[in-house]
Amino acid sequence: DAEITQSPRHKITETGRQVTLACHQTWNHNNMFWYRQDLGHGLRLIHYSYGVQDTNKGEVSDGYSVSRSNTEDLPLTLESAASSQTSVYFCASSESAGAGELFFGEGSRLTVL
Amino acid sequence: DAKTTQPPSMDCAEGRAANLPCNHSTISGNEYVYWYRQIHSQGPQYIIHGLKNNETNEMASLIITEDRKSSTLILPHATLRDTAVYYCIVRDLMEYGNKLVFGAGTILRVKS
């Protein structure tokens, strides 16, 4: 069955280190999204992509970057991790247009010490 | 910013219907109402969506008022596994890409 997977599921890192969270989907969806979830803030959009070579900033994009070199993957990079980036990160994907639903991964829990 | 208002929490007895309200008084003609839920520690899960007609699927029913300023998600026979955060989201289908903006949602606690 088609699916969306995130890795790693749990990671602990130190302040200042570069971290990359992987997201891979097998539905051949053009649209992919990264959200972070923190207590008291709900889900907030970080970056999103509508296709290969397309990336867009969401509401909380500072300190994060994404690249889209193929349809299946949208890795999220924290260039220099900060304690404020300790969070649970969710990747999602959807079809190109219309009323299609978003399919979410199981999440990646990142702790920055 | 989220365009919806939901109560922060609700309780429901197991086996009874759970009715989750949502206000979206500024909704426009192109905007659909979507419902997602998030069970603890999992990714959000799509439940249902609608424009102006009532909708039903295997998971739930969605009732949208005639003026479209509010809606109610109905879980007809709630179980303990339905305990989750429920998000009501308004989305413009004319806007490309299916981007969703989540609010705080309603914590539904189903009790035995």
The model's pLDDT over A60-102, given as tens digits with 9 standing for 90+, comes to 999 999 999 999 999 999 999 999 999 999 999 988 666 668 8
Residue-wise pLDDT for B59-71, tens only, equals 999 999 999 999 9
> What mean pLDDT do residues B80-103 have?
84
CA atoms of A63 and A110, how far apart (whole Å): 14
Facing B98 at nearest CB: one of A35, A90, A102: A102
Nearest CA in chain B to A57: B99
Q: What is the DSSP letter of A73?
A: B
Residue with tokens 């299609």: A100
Please judge whether B105 and A42 are an interchain contact, meaning their C-beta atoms are less than 8 angstroms apart.
yes
Please judge whether B43 and A33 are an interchain contact, meaning their C-beta atoms are less than 8 angstroms apart.
no
Residue-wise pLDDT for A11-62, tens only, equals 999 999 999 999 999 989 999 999 999 987 788 999 999 899 999 999 899 9
* DSSP SS3 for A84: helix
B102 neighbourhood in chain A, CB within 8 Å: 35, 42-44
In chain B, % of residues over pLDDT 90: 75
Nearest CA in chain B to A105: B43
Please judge whether A43 and B44 are an interchain contact, meaning their C-beta atoms are less than 8 angstroms apart.
yes
Structure tokens, A34: 């990264």
Facing A106 at nearest CB: one of B43, B97, B104: B43
